[in-house]
Amino acid sequence: MSYSSFIPPQRTLMGPGPSDVSARVLSALARPTIGHLDPQFITMMDEVKGLLQYAFQTQNEYTIALSAPGSAGMEACFVNLVSAEDKVVVCRNGVFGARMIENVQRIGAELVVVDGEWGRAVDPQQLEDALKQHSDATVVAFVHAETSTGAKSDAKTLCQIAQQYDCLTIVDAVTSLGGIELKVDEWGIDAIYSGSQKCLSCVPGISPISFSDKAIDKLKARNVPVQSWFLDQSLVMGYWSGDGKRAYHHTAPVNSLYALHESLVMLHQEGLENSWRRHQRMHDLLATGLEALDLHFIVPAAERLPQLNAVTIPEQFDDAKIRSYLLNEFNLEIGAGLGQFAGKAWRIGLMGYAARKENVALCLTALQEAMQNT
Ligand code: PLP
């Protein structure tokens, strides 16, 4: 058996993530690897923290990039901030809310599920009703941008309700960060996690997280250690904080952090609000074209994510055949349906660097041809 280098095809990534990575970010990835405790690397880590504070719109001191994907960000929030004595309200309106539930169950905390319709935002009234009924709840968790359906929930209102009932909030912002309005401090979010591979358009495998002072106090007050050594943020803290001096915890993905730094610099240069507006503009363009092709959105207009466009697959089309046609003829990836929508929906991503006019035009042309020819 002989092996040779793996040369991937040049695809356009318009699925639910990873999204297109710009040449600028890819070239940052290829810079020389240096030691993860090198003083220059630590200076760069500090910049990553500052840039993430900007992206999350937070002054939270504990704002870092976890060396693992979004799922680890989710798990880090739960294992650090929830213990068996807690009662946790989880809002489920798609696949990722369901994963939050599994996290709570594995911790052995008491669970209250607020079940919402797939393809709709979380209903604030349902959350309020659940909290009235369970006034001893301590944590509320929900997904801001449900990638499995394309629904956007009103994180500001949900957090306000949680605060009225004295609950800590855990928010999934894997698909929302950089793509739609998100204001961690103003909205009073206590723990939030995201992913590098969505609207930040960086390579996959890193999860930005941020904990409020209240969340840190809860972590410090734990009377049982966090069951995951790797995700225990009281240990990771020593690696990401301190004046120039850092304690070894694990070896950071040095080059991936260069890439994250570059993608965050790009976001900063564009301006966060300009990025939110660009995602909305590209969504409006795509939505007009999709409706013209007789493809209809699952989510009502007011609750739609601009960066994740889920449309119902008309009955006469074969899901897999169309997606293969797009991949083989146009090098274009769109996403299949997930969970309840498996086989029933296409999920078209307009995330980060992929949210550009040429991608919208390519996607519409390619879909039209695929629907004619398959
Ligand atoms: N949460 C949401 C909303 C997601 O869309 C994803 C990934 O698609 C995750 C969590 C998990 O992230 P990762 O696949 O990076 O582990």
Instruction: Return all residues near 77 (Cβ < 8 A) that are at least 6 apart.
Output: 141, 170, 191, 192, 193, 209
Probe target for ligand 1 pocket from 91, 99, 147, with the most ligand atoms within 8 Å of CB? 147
Whether 143 lines ligand 1, by a CB cut-off of 6 Å, is yes
The H or E element spanning position 7 is none
Please report, in tens digits, the pLDDT of each residue of the chain (374 residues total): 999 999 999 999 999 999 999 999 999 999 999 999 999 999 999 999 999 999 999 999 999 999 999 999 999 999 999 999 999 999 999 999 999 999 999 999 999 999 999 999 999 999 999 999 999 999 999 999 999 999 999 999 999 999 999 999 999 999 999 999 999 999 999 999 999 999 999 999 999 999 999 999 999 999 999 999 999 999 999 899 876 678 899 999 999 999 999 999 999 999 999 999 999 999 999 999 999 999 999 999 999 999 999 999 999 999 999 999 999 999 999 999 999 999 999 999 999 999 999 999 999 999 999 999 98
Contact status, residue 208 vs residue 65, Cβ threshold 8 Å: yes
Is omega for the bond preceding 18 within 30 degrees of 0, making it cis? yes
How many A from CA of 31 to the centre of ligand 1?
Answer: 27
Count, residues in the chain: 374
Whether 74 lines ligand 1, by a CB cut-off of 6 Å, is yes
Whether 147 lines ligand 1, by a CB cut-off of 6 Å, is yes
Tell which residue, 337, 92, 62, 331, has the closest CA to residue 209.
62
What pLDDT does residue 338 have? 94
Kindly report the protein residue whose alpha carbon is nearest to atom 2 of ligand 1. Answer: 174
What are the residue boundaries of the structural domains of the chain, listed by start? 12-17+272-373, 23-268
Contact status, residue 225 vs residue 1, Cβ threshold 8 Å: no
CA dist 301 and 262 (Å) reads 33
State the angle between helix axes of 213-220 and 233-240 in degrees (0 to 180), rounded to the nearest 10. Answer: 120
- Residue 135 one-letter amino acid: S
How many A from CA of 244 to the centre of ligand 1?
Answer: 32
Largest Cα–Cα distance in the chain?
A: 65
Q: What is 303-358 written as a DSSP string? A: GBBTTEEEEEPPTTS-HHHHHHHHHHHH-EEEEEP-GGGTTTEEEEE--GGG-SHH
Tell which residue, 212, 210, 217, has the closest CA to residue 188.
212
Tell which residue, 73, 199, 203, has the closest CA to residue 141.
73
Q: Give me the CATH topology for the region 12-17+272-373.
A: Aspartate Aminotransferase, domain 1 (3.90.1150)
What pLDDT does residue 244 have? 63
Q: What is the dihedral of CA 309, 314, 318, 323, to 10 degrees?
A: -20
How many A from CA of 72 to the centre of ligand 1?
Answer: 9
How many beta carbons lie within 10 A of that of residue 128, not counting itself? 18
How many A from CA of 174 to the centre of ligand 1?
Answer: 6
What pLDDT does residue 246 have? 85
In terms of Cβ atoms closer than 10 Å to its own Cβ (0-12, 13-18, 19+), residue 351 is buried
Instruction: Return all residues near 230 (Cβ < 8 A) that are at least 6 apart.
Output: 68, 250
Instruction: Return all residues near 36 (Cβ < 8 A) that are at least 6 apart.
Output: 251, 252, 254
DSSP code at position 61: S
CA dist 149 and 312 (Å) reads 11
How many A from CA of 99 to the centre of ligand 1?
Answer: 10
Instruction: Return all residues near 344 (Cβ < 8 A) that are at least 6 apart.
Output: 312, 313, 337
pTM for the complete prediction?
0.98
Class of the CATH-defined domain 23-268: alpha beta
- Using alpha carbons only, give the angle 288, 294, 300 rounded to the nearest 5 degrees: 65
Contact status, residue 196 vs residue 263, Cβ threshold 8 Å: yes
Q: Within 124-183, where are the H helices?
A: 124-133, 155-164
What pLDDT does residue 238 have? 87
CA dist 39 and 223 (Å) reads 35
What pLDDT does residue 374 have? 87
**Atom number of ligand 1 nearest to Cα 148:** 5
What pLDDT does residue 68 have? 98
